[in-house]
Amino acid sequence: MRHQRQQSKRKRSRALNLLVRLRPIAFIAVLLAIWQLAVSLHPVHILPGPWEVVGGIAYLVHHKLLLKYIVASLFRVTWGFALAVVLAVPLGLTIGWYRRAEMAFNPILQLLRPISPLAWIPIAILWFGVGDLAAIFLIFLGCFFPLMLTAINAVQSIPAVYINAARNFGLSPSQIVYRVLYPAVVPQLIVGLRITLGIAWLVVVAAEMIAVDSGLGFLIVDARNAGNRYDLVVAGMLIIGLIGLLLDLAMRSLERVKSFRWGYAQD
C-alpha cells in the first residue's frame, strides 16, 4: 500500500513537472492564435499572419539569405562586444581601484555616457564609410561605457574589510587582485556583460538599418522598401528576438560556472 502511494505521488509529480514545462509552449500557442484571429477579423490587412511569417522565413532560407544575414549581424556584435570587454573592463577596474583616477576620468565618462550610440552614426560613416567597421564602432561605443561603469562600481562595492584583512595577512598587491578583487567583482561583471550584450544586439540592428548593406537590420529596411514585404519584416523581428534570447541564455550559463556560484543566491 505504501509503495502504491509513493508511485502515485511520483506520477503526480511528473505530471506537474510536465505541465510546468508545457506552460510556455501553451502561452505561445495562445498568442499565435490571438494573432491569427486579429489578422483575420481586421478589415484592412495591416499585419501579416503567423503562416505568412513562416512563409517569409522559408523564403529567406530558400534564397540562402537567412544564414548570411544572421552571420553578418553576429560577426559585428562579436567584434564590437569583444573589443569593449577587452578595453572597458581592465580600464574600469583600474579607475575603480585608484580614487585619483576616478576623480580625473569621471567628468569625461559622465559627459560621454548619455550620448546615444546612434548619434554617432554620421561620424561613424564619415570615419569608416558604409560597412562593417562603422557598425562595429557603434556597437563598441554602446558597450564600452556601461561595461566600464559596471567594472568601476564592482570594485568600489567591495567591502573595505576584505581589503584590510588581505593587507593584514601580508598579501602583495598582485595577490590582493587575484584573491580578493577578482572573485569579488566577477559576479557583478557577469550581470553587466549580460546587459551589455543585449545593448550590443540592439545597436547592431539599428546600425544595420543605416550604416551597412547586410544583416538582420538591413533585412527589415530592405524588405520594407522593396515592395512592402511585411512578412519578411516581421520574420526579421522574430529572428532578432530569438537570437537575443539565445545570446542571453548563453551569457547566463556563466553563472553556473563552479568558481562563480558563490556570488549568487542558492535555492
The tens digit of pLDDT for each residue in 180-234 reads 777 778 888 888 888 899 889 988 888 888 777 788 888 888 887 876 788 888 8
Q: Whose CA is closest to 215, among 132, 117, 134? A: 132
Q: Give pLDDT, residue 262.
A: 52
Q: Please enumerate in sequence order all residues whose Cβ is within 8 A of that of 69, keeping only pairs 6 or more positions apart, or say none.
A: 60, 214, 215, 216, 218, 219, 236
Cα radius of gyration (the chain): 24
Class level of CATH domain 50-263:
mainly alpha
CB atoms within 10 A of CB 217: 26
- The domain ranges of the chain are 1-47, 50-263
Q: Give a three-class secondary structure readout of 13-64.
A: HHHHHHHHHHHHHHHHHHHHHHHHHHHHHCCCCCCCCHHHHHHHHHHHHHCC
Could you tell me the pLDDT band of residue 4, with boundaries at 50, 70 and 90?
A: low
pLDDT at position 62: 87
User: Per residue in 11-25, pLDDT tens?
Assistant: 566 656 666 666 777
Sorting pLDDT into bands at 50, 70 and 90, what band is 139? Answer: very high
114-134 burial code (b ≥16 CB/10 A, e <16): eeebbebbeebbeebeeebbb
Distance of CA 101 to the CA centre of its chain: 29
From residue 255, give the alpha-carbon distance in Å to each of 90, 258, 260, 263.
20, 8, 6, 9
| DSSP characters over 140-158 | HHHHHHHHHHHHHHHHHTS
Mean pLDDT of the residues in the chain: 81
**Furthest-apart CA atoms within the chain: distance in Å:** 80
From residue 169, alpha-carbon distances to 30, 84, 172, 176 in Å are 61, 35, 9, 10
pTM (2 decimals)? 0.79
* pLDDT confidence bin for 84, thresholds 50/70/90: very high
Residue 37 reports pLDDT greater than 90: no
Q: How far apart are CA 229 and CA 119, in angstroms?
A: 28
Q: What is the pLDDT of residue 251?
A: 83
- Does the pLDDT at position 128 exceed 60? yes
What is the SS3 assignment for 215? coil
- Residue 60 has a pLDDT of 87
- In this prediction, residue 170 carries a pLDDT of 74
Residue 163 has pLDDT above 70, yes or no: yes
Section 142-160 average pLDDT: 86
Question: Which three cell numbers, joined as nine digits, stand for 253?
Answer: 550559463
End-to-end CA distance of the chain: 33
Cβ contact 48:230 at 8 Å: yes
Q: According to the model, what pLDDT value does residue 81 have?
A: 93
The pLDDT tens digits for 107-119 are 888 888 888 888 8
Q: Check whether 266 has a pLDDT greater than 50.
A: no
